[in-house]
Chain A
Amino acid sequence: MTNNRSWIPYLLILPSVAFLALLFIVPLVQTIWLAFSDNGVPSPANAQRMMADINFTRSIKNTFLLTIAVVPVQLAIALAMGTMVAKVGRGRETILWVWTIPLGISDLAAGLVWLSILQNSGYFNSLLLGLGVIGRQASWLSYQTPVALFFAIAVAEIWRGTAIVMVIIVAGLNQVPKEFREAAEIFGAGPWTRFWRITLPLIRPALQSALILRTVLAFEVFAVVYALGGRNFPVLVGEAYNWQNQNQNYGVAAAYAVLIMIISLAATLIYLKAIKVDPERLP
């Protein structure tokens, strides 16, 4: 009986597979072909052109620096938020809801929000002026203030992207029965020991998902950077965009896209190896 029906699962999966193949695999193959061909013949010309570009090294450096600065901070904040909200009884839902508001804002809108705060005539300068901290409008987002610009972009990214990490962490924390922490407490573990030795190891799967998702997204950072820094702060996706739209060179843009994909896949692989999730050691 059941054997005759073994095709049913495949039938049910078919639409999604077809859909993915059509909208993902095909463009992916096309992009890769576009990146590694020239006038219809395989060629490394696009990749060479990409690497020779003056913004190439800067955009790689910026993207990695931003990722390294933003992701750990987001993880730390999300863990702190998740642990705090777990202690709250009434009003928990409301707090979570407020915290996830940035999730509902598009990244470009988020960039514009922070632009209105940080631009020369923005709220931040008005505040500093009002308080008498500065004498005249300071500029934070120009190419002459790279540190401030980096800092501004990092803060905006943290503000925008922490909620998704927190949502995953909270889901992970909910999976850990409170008795584990209680047992540790009975046997003499303080809050820090409980966090490092009990909670953190038990939310490994959530930690892994959150890190992969957030890191991949961090490598794809674009709209916030573009809104705040324009071309003063080149990043990988920004370069792809410029080659595609300004330079109308689809080949080099495709080479950037492939590079971003390779970096993301590598990061994912590293996380999968580094934060091994052994189902044998889960609750």
Chain B
Amino acid sequence: MANIVIDRIRKSFGTFEALKEVSLTINDGEFVSLLGPSGCGKTTLLRIIAGLETATSGDVLIGGKSVIGLPPKERGLAMVFQNYAVFPHMTVYENVAFGLRMQKADDARVKAQVEKAAGLLHIEQYLDRYPNKLSGGQRQRVAVARALAVEPKVLLMDEPLSNLDALLRLEMRTELKTVLQSAGTTTIYVTHDQTEAMGLSDRIAVMHNGVVEQVGTPVNVYNYPATRFVGGFIGNPPMNFIKVPVTNGQVAAGSEPLTAPKDSGNEVILGLRGEAVQLAPLPLGLEMKVRVAEPMGSHLLLTGSIHDQPVRVILPSSETVRSGDVIGLKLDPNRITWLSPESGKSIPAVTA
């Protein structure tokens, strides 16, 4: 059992609070992504779990045991560093073998494990080379192979595929997922690439300014963002936020008004996924002024405004809308996220 419990971790660098009470539980064998913009504290959190950084307060438990006082090597984990940290004075082979050598594994096992990991990451042909002669993406794969070779119970990866081209990244992503799943490795995967996080993770933890804003399955986080930040950070195009007036508990949206959530005041923010709309004739639908219509092949991307606030929506490519048109949109009440204009947090909708 190697579940990870992060319990109210705080970390300050001088007066700057990099992490403000982060709590997160990762189940045994689970794949959790830490997703968030640059500087939000992802690496810091990972380093605290690994034992490379001391938390200001809080606890980290691995397999039910507090590891906060243990040195890194006694925590039983492997890590892929954001800047790879591939040893320049060792060949790729010795780099990948490093963890096994430290465990005093016999040569046969070292060889077998190195070849397995190298094969997975497609670096077999570089095994005799020194890392300086490799490209960034190749070095990054050496770092991943080094971590996989020890078959850790817990694997921490800090943007391990950030330097690969799109095609290779997609392939590596799938292979990583397969390998880690079959080995039952508990994985924390740092990325700021949301499609990567969506595609790989059992659950995603979205971080912002040293706080975990939401933890949930990719579908959950996508459809029901807990905060305005999460909705805006996840999804391409990001969620639309339209500030609308509330009258008698209702929000006007064409001829069929929407029921506003109970505890909304005079105004509420309507969070709308670009694809959660349908074209409707005008007095019936909510009015949208289309500024640019971009046929993307698979879909039609419309940029314009609703209530004079910028929005981007997606329609099936079969629809014909041209730049400058004024169209009506029917909203799916079940796919609307209501947000408080003051706190930016979501407000539960009234279910009929």
Contacts and interface: CB of A to CB of B under 8 A. Distances in A.
A98 interface: no
A193 interface: yes
Contact of A186 (B77, B83, B130, B133): B77
A282 interface: yes
Given A180-B85, A202-B88, A281-B89, A186 B78 contact: yes
Interface in B81-120: 81, 83, 85, 87-89, 98-99, 102-103
Interface residues of B, number: 23
A198 B95 CA distance: 11
A182 B81 contact: yes
B288 interface: no
Contacts of A184: 87, 98, 102
A93 interface: no
B307 to A, nearest CB: 50
A189 B89 contact: no
Interface in B65-82: 71-73, 77-79, 81
A282 B85 contact: no
Interface string B125-140: 0000010110000000
Contact of A281 (B50, B78, B88): B88
B121 interface: no
Contacts of A183: 79, 81, 85, 87, 146
B52 interface: yes
Interface residues of A, number: 21
A283 B78 CA distance: 22
B329 interface: no
21 contacts: A177-B85, A180-B85, A182-B81, A182-B85, A183-B81, A184-B98, A185-B72, A185-B73, A186-B52, A186-B79, A188-B73, A188-B102, A198-B87, A202-B88, A202-B89, A279-B132, A280-B132, A280-B133, A281-B88, A282-B88, A283-B88
Interface of B: 50, 52, 71-73, 77-79, 81, 83, 85, 87-89, 98-99, 102-103, 130, 132-133, 146, 150
A187 B78 contact: yes
A179 interface: yes
A280 B88 CA distance: 8
B132 A281 contact: yes
B89 A179 contact: no
